Amino acid sequence: MKETKSNYCENCGEFHDSVHDHFSLVKVGESVPDFEFEVYHEDSIKTMSLSKLRGKWAVLVFYPADFTFICPTELEELSKLYPKFQAANAEIISVSTDTVHTHKAWHDTSPGIKEIKYPMAADPSGKMADAFGVLIEGAGPELTPDEGLALRGTFIIDPAGILRSMEVNDNSIGRKGAETLRKLQAAQYVETHKGQVCPASWEPGSDTLEPGLDLVGKL
């Protein structure tokens, strides 16, 4: 019985394992590349750029696609927390490889998505997703069902345009909005309290640590 696989080569009769390398242009502690992009926001289509967000914190939330299943649960949860992000001088921008017109159609159709107040960015070319290392590309000549979509990636950028935190999940794993807020608060705390670090599960008001030789072996 002849075995058939997508990576079977008819020419040589061998099976080849395709190795695909993801190269992200963004690295924690370095400046993020600037992009200009369209967003659906406040019932209209607008143009934004990452450079115009300088002076405030930015949280980019990549997700696979509109009209899906896990995505609305994540975006709705962030929508409920949006006032807290705003109070922390942070802007949330959700990003998918859909168009702004698809964003509008989803916004008009879904009761939960209709409540979203933050900008919904369109990245139909996949350039932003690719730069942030979350674009799903094909591995070989065969197309994959998710090719051209984005993984669930969350990126926290400080007011100077420096990436402070990144999280990338398989698309079957949903994120927790409250954890994104906690990471933002921790990043802001250490930004304004030099020499301090936030331990595991740190919350605003909790004790922090000041690294030093006196702590070695005592934690």
Q: What are phi and psi of 164, to 5 degrees?
A: -105, -25
**Torsion of Cα atoms, 200 then 206 then 212 then 214, to 10°:** -100
Nearest one of 104, 127, 101 to 37, comparing CA atoms: 127
Where is 72: in which H helix or E strand? helix 70-87
Strand partners, 47: 38
Say how far apart CA 130 and CA 33 lie, in whole Å. Answer: 11
Q: Confirm whether 9 is a catalytic residue.
A: no
CB 94 within 8 A of CB 63: yes
The single-letter code of the amino acid at 210 is: E
Catalytic residues: 71
